[in-house]
Amino acid sequence: MTDLEKMRDIFPVTRTKTFLNHAATSPVSKPVADVMKKLIDEAVSFDFGSKEWEDFGKPYFAQLINAETEEIALIENTSVGMNIAAHVIQAPRGAKIVTTDLEYPSVTYPFLRKSLGLNVHYVRNVNGKILIKDLEKAVDDRTAAIAISHVEYANGFRHDLRAVSEIARRHGAYLIVDAIQAAGAIPVDVKRDRVDFLASACYKWLMGPSGAGYLYVRRELIEKFEPPFVGWASVKPEVFETTDFWDIWKPQYSETASRFEAGSPSIISFLGARAAIKLLLDVGVDRIEKRILALTDYLIDELKNAGFKLQTPEDRVCRGGIVNFKVKNPQKMQEQLAEKGIIVTARANGIRVSPHFYNTEEEIDRLVEEVKKNRETA
Ligand SMILES: Cc1ncc(COP(=O)(O)O)c(C=O)c1O
């Protein structure tokens, strides 16, 4: 078996579907399913064999984004993480939040709550790209934060986070990043790119279950903020490890990012997430990115040869794993492809294709063939 065949073997979905939809909700691998099934069995007998889940995958997520474990908090999903960030920065009323017109609602909504009284400014895309010069123009000294996705959900535009963070720094603004369309597909490096907050769930490119996500908060910022939701999980570990009776008068918040956690996490979700991230780290994120870019280069060539119009910027540095192209009736096309076992999503008046490292050129061929067959009707 080649390496690729071995990998495909641990993703059982490859036997029944041409799954090219990792920007939506992904299937899980066999090792991920196995640890979760094992936990269910252990829960039935209340006989927990392994304690490996106790770190909830924080060290692996930290490694994935080049952070410290202490900088990671458990969250249910990306949206919760973005809300925590929007809340704790305590931007004064009237302050500017700079975002883009390519964002997912979970990036913009947390700043649009009326009670915050913020001025949310949308930088407009130019042919699917957000230009650094336009961000530069938009950010000023009244800007409290730049809130963006590392990779945009609909057309897959990839921001140069380092360039964005330089703009933020110059004006004393925070950089708040939604990484759900990046983590697991391309390298994410919060230290290199000087990110202040970053949130991601695990059910897309990380190929874990839903219900598990991580929030990164830069070390120097953690103790500056009072958490918005508090409970037993927010306090220093020594408090809940050594006391029979809780101090219910004066919470001593953790010095780590766990101060942003309030109560019990979904153990089964984090156990699955932990195994999923470990698998990707074992394969190597650089290798994964290379493979994804090779597959998407191939897809782009095939689509262009067939005369389809791309909605994703073609330049390699401007994209991750998402390729979007125009069709007449995206919803109908999505359905017709699904009937053939080819899974993609209709987005932004086009079809969004999002292959992962275990997909093959043959699967891309199958997709393009079907799209060509259906192009008159859909
Ligand atoms: C960029 C982006 N952010 C957030 C989400 C939703 O994240 P969650 O369900 O983890 O809150 C999505 C889902 O499609 C997304 O594409």
The protein residue whose alpha carbon is closest to atom 13 in ligand 1 is: 24
CB of 209 sitting under 6 A from ligand 1:
no
In ligand 1, the atom with minimum distance to the C-alpha of 82 is 11
Prediction pTM value: 0.97
- Comparing 3-20+284-371 with 34-281, is the CATH topology the same? no
Terminal alpha carbon distance of the chain: 39
Ordered by start, the domain boundaries in the chain are: 3-20+284-371, 34-281
pLDDT digits (tens, 9 = 90+) for 176-232: 999 999 999 999 999 999 999 999 999 999 999 999 999 999 999 999 999 999 999
Ligand 1 contact, 21 CB (< 6 A): no
Under the banding of pLDDT at 50, 70 and 90, the label for residue 47 is confident
Q: Is 100 in the pocket of ligand 1 (CB under 6 A)?
A: no
DSSP string, 93-125: TT-EEEEETT--HHHHHHHH-GGG--EEEEEPP
The amino acid that residue 201 corresponds to is A
User: pLDDT tens for residues 278-303?
Assistant: 999 999 999 999 999 999 999 999 99
Q: The domain 3-20+284-371 belongs to what CATH superfamily?
A: Aspartate Aminotransferase, domain 1 (3.90.1150.10)
Closest Cα to atom 2, ligand 1: which residue? 104
- Regarding the beta carbon of 200 and ligand 1, being less than 6 Å apart is answered no
Fold of 34-281: Aspartate Aminotransferase; domain 2 (3.40.640)
Q: Residue for token digits 């791309």?
A: 310
Specify whether the CB–CB gap between 356 and 276 falls below 8 A: no
The two beta strands, 323-326 and 174-178, are unpaired
Residue with CA at minimum distance from ligand 1 atom 9: 77
pLDDT > 70: percent of the chain: 98
Determine whether the shortest distance from the Cβ of 213 to ligand 1 is under 6 A: yes
